[in-house]
């Protein structure tokens, strides 16, 4: 364990520690300790220092338990890297050595990303950042609906932990109380004649402090599960998500989107609402009529109905 991670481990209980005690325990100077504290702040940790040179975290954090996750999922199938650029990018960089179902989990992503290259803010120790490699046996025509399948599985997994009123936004977001709390990023790497290797990225806001938003350029409203009263164990969530992905993706390969269509519709709260569909620089306005059996959005505009497989949907402002 490197010094910064050891420092986080010490401070994670929320107790106050003197600078002298910390520097002695870590075997570093006070000036080096101060430098490490600044790095932790850049990772999104709410570190504080008193006038008497004492250090603490404003809120205690429960760190991901690598041993527990590996014991439940298989130690050779889990890559736990506390700090990295991006879980998706790490798997893409090592995809030739991965098997279907291998996952990468992090406490902090330095340059986490969402769809269309957008930044996915990833502070240390409070959310879920995970990616899975999957070797999808062809049928190429099912690729367009895989984000919807993952959305269903993420929603249902979180519901099984007691969270209510989750709904989906086509094609890849999950919402509660009108605010986004989770997103999905699917990246296709290798297309072969009989299979495609894909990376499935999932980010879920568990307990991120909302005051971070004041310092961020985030356009959409977002929420965390903790602020609406849910205390979610991240280890359990990561394990349950992985098990469900490994269970249901083979069904998706064999049967396509059909087994998931009704499950998506039960989570979709945008059906029969006025929306705008953004495709590049284009905006199309109309009424969402749900999705078809390919997972395409059905949009009604001036009495004309058309299906769309690309873009992103948002409620039309009044």
Binding residues: 86-88, 109, 113-115, 180
Tokens of 199: 């990376």
Angle at 202 between CA 248 and CA 277, to 5 degrees: 95
Residue recorded with tokens 């930044």: 119
Strands 304-308 and 17-18: unpaired
Concatenating the DSSP letter of every residue in 141-187 gives: GGGGGHHHHHHHHHHHHHHTTT---EEEETTTEEEETTEEEEEEEEE
Catalytic status, residue 180: yes
Annotated binding site for biotin: which residue ranges?
Answer: 86-88, 109, 113-115, 180
Cα–Cα distance, 138 to 88 (Å, whole number): 22
Catalytic status, residue 36: no
Tokens of 3: 């010094």
In sequence order, which residues have a C-beta less than 8 Å from that of residue 109 and are 6 or more positions away?
Answer: 84, 85, 86, 87, 120, 122, 129
Residue recorded with tokens 């870590």: 26
Residue 59: Cβ-neighbour burial (10 angstroms; 0-12, 13-18, 19+):
middle
Query: Does an H or E element contain 34, and which?
Result: helix 30-42
Which one of 115, 135, 226, 294 is the catalytic residue? 115
Which one of 72, 180, 289, 294 is the catalytic residue? 180
Catalytic status, residue 294: no
Q: Check the CA dihedral 7-9-14-16 and report its sign.
A: negative
Tokens of 153: 């599985």
Strands 195-204 and 179-191: antiparallel
**Residues noted as catalytic:** 115, 180, 316
């Amino acid at each position: 364990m490197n010094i910064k991670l050891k420092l986080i481990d010490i401070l994670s209980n929320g107790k106050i520690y003197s600078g002298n005690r910390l520097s002695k325990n870590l075997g570093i100077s006070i000036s080096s300790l101060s430098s490490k504290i600044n790095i932790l702040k850049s990772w999104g940790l709410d570190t504080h220092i008193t006038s008497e040179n004492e250090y603490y975290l404003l809120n205690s954090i429960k760190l991901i338990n690598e041993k527990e996750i590996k014991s439940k999922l298989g130690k050779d199938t889990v890559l736990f890297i506390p700090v990295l650029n991006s879980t998706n990018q790490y798997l893409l960089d090592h995809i030739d050595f991965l098997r279907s179902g291998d996952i990468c989990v992090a406490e902090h992503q330095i340059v986490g990303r969402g769809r269309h290259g957008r930044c996915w803010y990833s502070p240390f120790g409070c959310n879920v950042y995970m990616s899975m490699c999957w070797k999808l046996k062809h049928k190429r025509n099912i690729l367009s609906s895989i984000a919807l399948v993952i959305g269903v599985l993420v929603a249902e997994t979180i519901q099984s932990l007691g969270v209510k009123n989750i709904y989906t936004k086509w094609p890849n977001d999950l919402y509660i109380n009108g605010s986004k709390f989770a997103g999905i990023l699917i990246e296709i790497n290798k297309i072969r004649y009989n299979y495609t290797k894909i990376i499935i990225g999932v980010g879920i806001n568990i307990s991120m402090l909302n005051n971070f938003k004041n310092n961020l350029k985030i356009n959409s409203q977002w929420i965390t599960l903790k602020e609406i009263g849910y205390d979610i164990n991240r280890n359990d969530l990561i394990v349950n998500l992985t098990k469900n992905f490994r269970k249901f993706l083979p069904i998706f390969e064999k049967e396509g989107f059909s087994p998931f269509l009704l499950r998506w519709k039960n989570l979709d709260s945008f059906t029969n609402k006025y929306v705008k569909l953004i495709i590049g620089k284009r905006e199309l306005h109309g009424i969402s009529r749900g999705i078809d059996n390919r997972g395409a959005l059905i949009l009604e505009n001036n009495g004309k109905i058309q299906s769309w497989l690309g873009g992103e949907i948002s409620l039309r402002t009044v």
